[in-house]
Structure 1
């Protein structure tokens, strides 16, 4: 029997990368999953992989009604909701403040924060009544950039620091009925996109040929994790039996990046 036997989870950004790995792991742990993704083809694919165990819906996490429709579908199909996993995200690929034109910076900020922060907030808001009823939980995807500079650019780093604030504030607000935690993964190969306003809509981490070498050079663990390597922390935090007293926590799993850092500043 898995750690999530009988539970129902709503996972955003569920069609690829870490989100898809989370669907795989949650199903393996006994959960049924409502998969929310902006790409309808990916939604159909993940549904087809798990008939009867996964229901999917195409939607935009930045749109309030799309979040409400996802929760309503989970309740309609599965009858309950135990965990909301906020995972959809954008990455700015290290876009530097001094190199980014003012108008692009402004629009890029709005676009990225709408997904990485507002999308989480709207998802929790849509799910909160169902989660209170089930005594459930929230798990938000933070990042190694939630605690460290130099991984993304200023916009991404600020957004992931904001996720930590959301975890702590919502854990305070929703106690004792709903636990709220986060997981801060490090490097992985995914197809996470960047803001269209910054010209990064088609760029992916998976397209970076030197990502494996970079991970080996920067991480004390000296390997590039797969998205599936991070899923266990989400499962534990979602599990009532294994995290009943845990709320307001962000679990860092960054291959040791935080204890090594980026090395001394240039010229030292």
Structure 2
């Protein structure tokens, strides 16, 4: 039997990168999946690839109503919701505090934290009743920036540290009915975009000159991760059979950053 046979998951930020890898792995493991994402063209591509196994919802994770609509659509399509995966995120192009103009700071902070932190809260809050009803699980994407400096700028690193706290607090609040955990990927070959206007040099993460080599050389395993390299951990943490006593924890999938 497949690990997630007969389970239903909702993945925010699931149309590309790590999110899409999780969606595709969940489908292979037998789950039905709903994907909430702001990128319509990538949602269409995903739906074309998996017309029977998933539904797509175009929406913004910073809007609670869009999250609630995604949950309602999921239950309408598949009858229930067992798993919520929060994955949508913005980067900050490594910008330090000293390079953020004072008049720009509040706007940049609001935009990044609304996606990277409030987006997760919105998703969990919208899914909470269904997850409790089904003894479900929450899995949130962290980052090695949730534990160490230097993997982003002041906004991204601070926000990812906040996600670690969010996981611990939600695990405490939602027990014993719902388990809440996280996966902490290291540098990954994805096109994660930065907050608009944060730097005139900003570009998608894996378009940065030397990004892949620098990321590989920074960790003991000496290679940059693909999105698929992380997906198995999202399966383990979503399964009440494979991780029944695990909550409030974060699994590191970062090439050995902690061993440096």
Superposed pair shares fold, TM > 0.5: yes
- Does the alignment pair 1:73 with 2:73? yes
- Does the alignment pair 1:193 with 2:197? no
| Structure 2 partner of 1:4 | 4
Equivalent residue of 1:90, what SS?
A: coil
Query: Is the deviation greater in 111-120 or in 185-194?
Result: 185-194
Deviation by residue 1:71-114 (Cα, 9 ceiling, x = unmatched): 00000000010100000000111101111111222211110000
RMSD of aligned alpha carbons: 1.2
1:201 positional shift: 10
Q: 1:40-51, aligned counterparts within 5 Å?
A: 40-51=40-51
| Structure 1 partner of 2:57 | 57
Structure 1 residues 89 and 31, CA, compared in 2 at 3 Å: closer, same or farther?
same
Measure, in 2, the Cα distance between the counterparts of 1:120 and 1:80.
20
| Structure 2 partner of 1:141 | 141
Query: Is the deviation greater in 200-209 or in 166-175?
Result: 200-209
1:259 positional shift: 2.0
Q: What TM-score results when the alignment is normalised by the length of structure 2?
A: 0.97
Measure, in 2, the Cα distance between the counterparts of 1:216 and 1:158.
24
CA contact (8 A) 1:89 1:115 kept: yes
| Structure 2 partner of 1:31 | 31
Query: Is the deviation greater in 175-184 or in 207-216?
Result: 207-216
Deviation by residue 1:30-52 (Cα, 9 ceiling, x = unmatched): 11100111011111211111111
- Does the alignment pair 1:165 with 2:165? yes
CA contact (8 A) 2:32 2:78 kept: yes
Measure, in 2, the Cα distance between the counterparts of 1:225 and 1:194.
19
Structure 1 residues 200 and 245, CA, compared in 2 at 3 Å: closer, same or farther?
farther
Query: Is the deviation greater in 6-15 or in 44-53?
Result: 44-53
Measure, in 1, the Cα distance between the counterparts of 2:30 and 2:201.
35
Q: What TM-score results when the alignment is normalised by the length of structure 1?
A: 0.94
| Structure 2 partner of 1:243 | 243
Measure, in 2, the Cα distance between the counterparts of 1:201 and 1:68.
36
Measure, in 2, the Cα distance between the counterparts of 1:200 and 1:245.
46
Structure 1 residues 146 and 77, CA, compared in 2 at 3 Å: closer, same or farther?
same
Query: Is the deviation greater in 124-133 or in 216-225?
Result: 216-225
1:197 positional shift: 4.0
Measure, in 2, the Cα distance between the counterparts of 1:26 and 1:53.
10
| Structure 1 partner of 2:216 | 216
| Structure 2 partner of 1:233 | 233
1:119 positional shift: 0.3
Equivalent residue of 2:241, what SS?
A: helix
| Structure 2 partner of 1:265 | none
| Structure 2 partner of 1:263 | none
Measure, in 2, the Cα distance between the counterparts of 1:169 and 1:193.
28
CA contact (8 A) 2:61 2:122 kept: yes
Please, which runs of 5 or more residues in structure 1 have no aligned partner?
261-268
1:199 positional shift: 4.1
CA contact (8 A) 2:167 2:180 kept: yes
Measure, in 1, the Cα distance between the counterparts of 2:151 and 2:23.
26
CA contact (8 A) 2:182 2:251 kept: yes
Structure 1 residues 254 and 155, CA, compared in 2 at 3 Å: closer, same or farther?
same
